[in-house]
Structure formats: structure tokens, C-alpha cells
Structure 1
Amino acid sequence: MKKLVFIVSIALSTMVFAQKSEKKMGPPPGNALVGDVYGSVISAKAEKKAISPEKLDKKLAQSKKIENIAVKGKVTDVCDKKGCWLTLETENNEKFFVKMKDYGFFVPTALIGKNVVLEGNAETKIISVDEQKHYAEDAKKSQQEIDAITKPQEEIRFVASGIKVVN
């Protein structure tokens, strides 16, 4: 009888823990204040050498992939479901997509409108229709905008190992 009670209590506590962890969805809390870091620490050297998204675009025109680069720009959107991606605005009002390395960290939605330095790898990549639609749904685009996505698109993809909020 004691074994049965013990087994049942473990099963119930496991179920309660699983339900609580499922409800924990959503981006992490936080105000994204200047100096806040998400993921790996951004070195002072990388912060000083950070290039603009426009310069990154020019570098990628020469080489389709660049590793260990720092880019500074303004965040325009953050995944509302988990904080697992963001978009960065370029000087000519275009945007590029940023994922977190190995899905290893997430960012708060308070990052929208803030200037950041990203450190990581960048590449030009062809994005499938399905993937574009997935991210459009995450961004809560209208069904009309989602349905308008009908062909693969080449765009800059950045995989950030670290993100720092800056002035």
C-alpha cells in the first residue's frame, strides 16, 4: 500500500510540474535596459567594431556567409510566443531576421524599438514559403499578408550568440 501511495504521489507531482512548465510559454520578462545582455557576453572590442546592417549587406554581397561579426541596429519586432527571434532594421528601412544560437536564449518583447549589438554569424539564405508563413504567423500578421507569401525569398539571416542593449 505504501508503494502504491508513493507511486501515485510521484505521478501526480510529475503531471503538475508538466502542466506548470507548459504554461510558462511566452518571452522572458524584462525591460531591455541599456547594458542588458541576452545570451553570451558581448566583448567591448566587438561592441566598438560593430558594423551597420547596411555594411553587413555589402559584405554578404561579396561572401554569402560571415562568421564572428558584430552588427548594431534597431529592433523592430520580437517573437511574441517565446522571444526566440527578432528583426533588425537597416538604414534603408529594410529588415533582417535574427535567430538565437542553438535556441539557447530568448529575449523580451521590451526589446522592440531598442538599439542593440548582435554578435554571431550572418549569411544570405533562401527562405521557403512555409518558413516565411510560420514566422508571419508568429508575428501575428493578417491572414491576407500570410496568404500573399507565395514564393521563396532570399534574405539575410543572422544567428546571434549574444545580444546587448546599447544607446
Structure 2
Amino acid sequence: MSNDQADQQQDPTNGGPALFRLVRFWSRRWINTASQELTGEPRHVQHILAVEAVHTAAKHSTEITVGTVAHHLGLDHSGASRIIRDAVEAGYLTRLPSPQDRRRASLHLTDPGHSLLHASHQWQNQTFTALTATWPPQDRHQFATYLNRLADDLSV
């Protein structure tokens, strides 16, 4: 690695490597903990992903379809369809014929789905608070503001 490359990685204004270091660290670690605590099953994180995707998509669309969920989760149609099928069977989502096109399904959160979503958001907030517990409140607030801004800009 050249000195220029090393300096670029050490530059505190270069957030790309730090962002992806966090993504790599958390992408696998949160799954079993969150799923076990929120669904009672360590392997049902897909239920959390499904309710989060439907909830987020509802902010931008009047009808949520399998394709919408696939887009929000970065999956192909068949992968999203399986996750949705499992979430419907678990009682977190309903799948009704679309009023616009009977060939499509329209997805909605059920009461248990709303409860899971609420519990998921509480767990996420507790995790954020724990990770930033040693930070001054203003830093925690500013970081949260930037994270929300980034997520909003990406519409995720």
C-alpha cells in the first residue's frame, strides 16, 4: 500500500471504510440475538426483515408487493416471496389480492406484525444507546441525525 493510500484510509473525513467495517461487523452478529429476543427463535430473523421492509415501503408506496419487499431487502423475487410466505404463516403479514392487479399480492402488517416491528425498533434503539453509551449526548444525537439522513436519502 502506498503512503497516499494509507493516508486516505486514516483521514477521519473518509467514512467509507468505517461504514463498511461496521456493516461487516454487524451484518451477522445482530441476527441471532435480535431474532431470539424478538421472535423467540434464533432462526426467524426473516420475520423481522419482512415487517421492517413492509413498514418502510409503506412510507413511499400505497401498495406493497413482493417486488417492493424484494427491492427493499436486496433480494430476487423468489427469495422475497419465501420470506413473505414464512412471515404470513407466522402471522406477521397478510397477503391479499391487489385491488389494482389481481395477479399481484398486496402485503399488510397484522397486529402481531406491528408488535414485532415495535419490539424491533425498541431493540435497535437499545443497541444504539449501548454502543454510544460513552459518547456525549450531543455526539450521540448528531450521529443519529446523520444516520437517519443517510437512510432517508437512500429511501431504505
TM interval, short-chain normalised: under 0.3
**Higher RCO (CA < 8 A, seq sep 6+):** 1
- The TM-score with structure 1 as length reference comes to 0.22
Task: Kindly indicate which of the two structures has a greater share of residues assigned to strand.
Answer: 1
- The TM-score with structure 2 as length reference comes to 0.23
Task: Kindly indicate which of the two structures has a greater share of residues assigned to helix.
Answer: 2
